[in-house]
């Protein structure tokens, strides 16, 4: 079969969630960020595994994602919508019991008028200038908000992957100032904030990329294995070139494997001539350009012709690939293509 295989270890995701949870105190609850289809790994399967493990709060980007997670996990756990209550969302929010995290006076008015008494959360802007109530708007809105009883008041750190960055302390101080004296559950930290220490944890934390095996959680268990099937093998003489634009020239008699994956599958063209794939514990260099559906690999030093080669595995995670192409592990994860045959292991009760 000429379809790459993406194997997703649900037990590793749950283990990473529990490891991050263990860094918090007993008074702090760990939710789970499953937006963007659980960073491309399948929110239905991931959310069900986490719910069985005891997770009761889930966070998604938009209402449509919330609906998909609700269908997967059923009634009970809270599902928070980061983008809030947008126009056209009312029926879905109300019918499915979703919790919009309101970001502005306009969203607050929309929610209170359309769904009076329905649950909601609040996001405060503590310096990121992306989503959330500005301090001056919050002063005006706070009395009505607190009277209505929000489920959560949150903000979001924007430099938590740099522990020494002064923005972390500044945001922490601003969040405390904006929520001082409020008896409402508070949340400031995703994965990076959890690692900054307990003063950043408050009542609820929101682990995301660390659950999926990415930095800044260096202690995460590997979650994904991406195996690329070998379609053809050929021998190449010294001086012959491989692939588009003759981007690689053989310097010795070489054996070249063509594998079924390419930039249509979310693998950057910048991986050409720089990436490594693996056959067991043996590295094999990618040679030539990454094309739409195919990648060529030098397997000259292997003793056997492999059926498949791994781009992602326990030896090479998403952040290693990200480093090669000047991006972050988040982008590598969320770019994994829909053509991959996804296989899940673990996650049973």
What residues are annotated to the active site?
35, 244
Whether the Cβ atoms of residue 49 and residue 77 lie closer than 8 Å to each other: no
Classify residue 306 as exposed, middle or buried by CB count within 10 Å of its CB (0-12, 13-18, 19+). Answer: buried
Task: Name the phi and psi angles at 291, rounded to 5.
Answer: -105, -175
Q: Do the Cβ atoms of 321 and 228 come closer than 8 Å?
A: no
**Residues 32 and 206 sit within 8 Å (Cβ to Cβ):** yes
The bridge status of strand 282-287 relative to strand 294-298 is antiparallel
Output phi, psi for 4, to 5 deg. Answer: -65, 150
Q: What six digits make up the tokens of 254? A: 């070489």
Pairing mode, strands 121-123 and 99-102:
parallel
CB 96, CB 128: distance < 8 Å: no
Nearest CA among 126, 122, 116, 123 for reference residue 93: 116
Give the CA radius of gyration of the chain: 23
Region of residue 259 (left: phi > 0; alpha: psi -120 to 50; beta: else):
beta
Helix (H) or strand (E) holding 42: none
Burial class (CB in 10 A: 0-12, 13-18, 19+), 128: middle
Beta bridge pairs of residue 152: 121
Q: Is the Cβ–Cβ distance between 48 and 244 less than 8 Å?
A: no
Strands 152-154 and 186-187: parallel
Residue 20, CA distances (Å) to 6, 65, 158, 181 in order: 24, 24, 19, 28
């Amino acid at each position: 079969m000429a379809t790459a295989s993406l194997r997703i270890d649900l037990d590793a995701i749950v283990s990473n969630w529990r490891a991050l949870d263990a860094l918090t105190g007993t008074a702090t609850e760990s939710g789970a960020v499953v937006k963007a289809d659980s960073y491309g790994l399948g929110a239905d399967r991931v959310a069900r595994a986490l719910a069985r493990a005891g997770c009761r709060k889930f966070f998604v980007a938009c209402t449509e994602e919330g609906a998909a997670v609700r269908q997967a996990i059923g009634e009970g756990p809270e599902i928070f919508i980061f983008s809030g209550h947008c126009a056209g969302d009312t029926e879905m929010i109300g019918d499915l019991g979703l919790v919009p995290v309101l970001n502005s006076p306009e969203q607050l008015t929309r929610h209170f008028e359309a769904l009076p008494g329905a649950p909601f959360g609040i996001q405060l802007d503590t310096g990121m200038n992306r989503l959330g109530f500005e301090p001056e708007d919050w002063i005006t809105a706070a009395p009505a908000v607190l009277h209505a009883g929000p489920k959560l008041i949150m903000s979001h750190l924007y430099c938590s992957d740099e522990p020494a960055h002064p923005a972390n302390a500044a945001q922490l101080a601003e969040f405390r100032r904006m929520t001082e004296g409020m008896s409402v559950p508070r949340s400031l930290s995703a994965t990076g904030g959890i690692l900054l220490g307990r003063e950043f944890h408050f009542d609820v934390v929101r682990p995301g990329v660390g659950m999926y095996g990415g930095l800044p959680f260096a202690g995460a268990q590997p979650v994904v294995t991406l195996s690329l099937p070998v379609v053809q093998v050929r021998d190449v003489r010294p001086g012959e070139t491989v692939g588009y634009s003759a981007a690689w020239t053989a310097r010795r008699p070489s054996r070249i494997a063509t594998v079924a994956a390419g930039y249509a599958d979310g693998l950057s063209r910048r991986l050409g001539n720089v990436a490594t794939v693996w056959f067991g514990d043996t590295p094999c260099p990618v040679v030539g350009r990454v094309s739409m559906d195919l990648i060529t690999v030098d397997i000259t030093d292997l003793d056997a012709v492999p059926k498949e080669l791994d781009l992602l595995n326990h030896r090479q995670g998403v952040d290693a690939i990200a480093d090669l192409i000047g991006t972050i592990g988040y982008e590598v994860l969320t770019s994994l293509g829909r053509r991959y045959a996804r296989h899940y292991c673990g996650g049973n009760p």
